[in-house]
Structure 1
Amino acid sequence: MAATPPVCDFDWPAPDFTLPATDGRTVSFADVAGPKGTLVMFICNHCPYVLAVLDRIQRDARDLVSLGIGVVAISSNDADAYPKDSFDNMTALAEERGFVFPYLYDEDQSVAAAYGAVCTPDFFGFNANGGLQYRGRLDASGRNAAHEDMRRELFEAMKQVADTGRGPADQIPSMGCSIKWKGKV
Structure 2
Amino acid sequence: MKTLKILGLLTLMLTMGAFSVRYTSGIEGYDIGDIATDFSLRNIDGSTVSLSDYKTAKGFLIIFTCNTCPYSVAYEDRINALDAKYKKLGVPVIAINPNNPTKKPGDSFAKMKVRAAEKGFTFPYLLDEGQEVFPQYGATRTPHVFLLEKMAKGNVVQYIGAIDDNYQDASRVEEKYVENAVNAMLEGKEIKVSTTRAIGCSIKV
Q: For this structure pair, what is the TM-score category when the shorter chain's length is used for normalisation?
A: 0.7 to 0.9
More helix by share: 2
Q: Which residue of 1 aligns with 2:164?
A: 139
Counterpart Cα distance in 1 of 2:90 and 2:189: 12
Counterpart mapping for 1:34-183 below 5 A: 35-129=57-151, 130-142=155-167, 144-148=168-172, 150-164=174-188, 167-181=191-205
Counterpart Cα distance in 2 of 1:32 and 1:93: 25
Percentage identity across paired residues of the two chains? 37
Cα offset, 1:172, TM superposition: 2.2
The change in CA–CA distance for 1:34 and 1:171 in structure 2 (over 3 A counts) is farther
Report the 3-state secondary structure (helix = DSSP H, G, I; strand = E; otherwise coil) of the residue aligned with 2:187: helix
The change in CA–CA distance for 1:83 and 1:32 in structure 2 (over 3 A counts) is farther
- Which structure is larger by alpha-carbon Rg, 1 or 2? 2
Structure 2 residues not aligned, in runs of 5+: 1-27
The change in CA–CA distance for 1:76 and 1:149 in structure 2 (over 3 A counts) is closer
How many matched pairs?
175
Q: Quick check: 1:42–1:121 contact (8 Å CA) kept in 2?
A: yes
Q: TM-score, normalised by structure 2?
A: 0.78
Deviations 1:37-96 (A, max 9, x none): 111110000001111111111111210112211220000101011110000000111111
Q: TM-score, normalised by structure 1?
A: 0.86
Q: Quick check: 2:140–2:202 contact (8 Å CA) kept in 1?
A: yes
2:43 maps to 1:21: yes
The change in CA–CA distance for 1:33 and 1:167 in structure 2 (over 3 A counts) is farther
Counterpart Cα distance in 2 of 1:33 and 1:103: 19
Cα offset, 1:168, TM superposition: 2.8
Q: Which residue of 1 aligns with 2:8?
A: none
The change in CA–CA distance for 1:33 and 1:134 in structure 2 (over 3 A counts) is farther
Deviations 1:1-25 (A, max 9, x none): xxxxx99722111121101100121
Q: Given residue 157 of structure 1, which amino acid in structure 2 is its aligned partner?
A: A
RCO (CA 8 Å, sep 6+): is it higher in 1 or 2?
1
Counterpart Cα distance in 2 of 1:151 and 1:123: 15
Counterpart Cα distance in 2 of 1:86 and 1:8: 27
Deviations 1:145-166 (A, max 9, x none): 3425543221121121122175
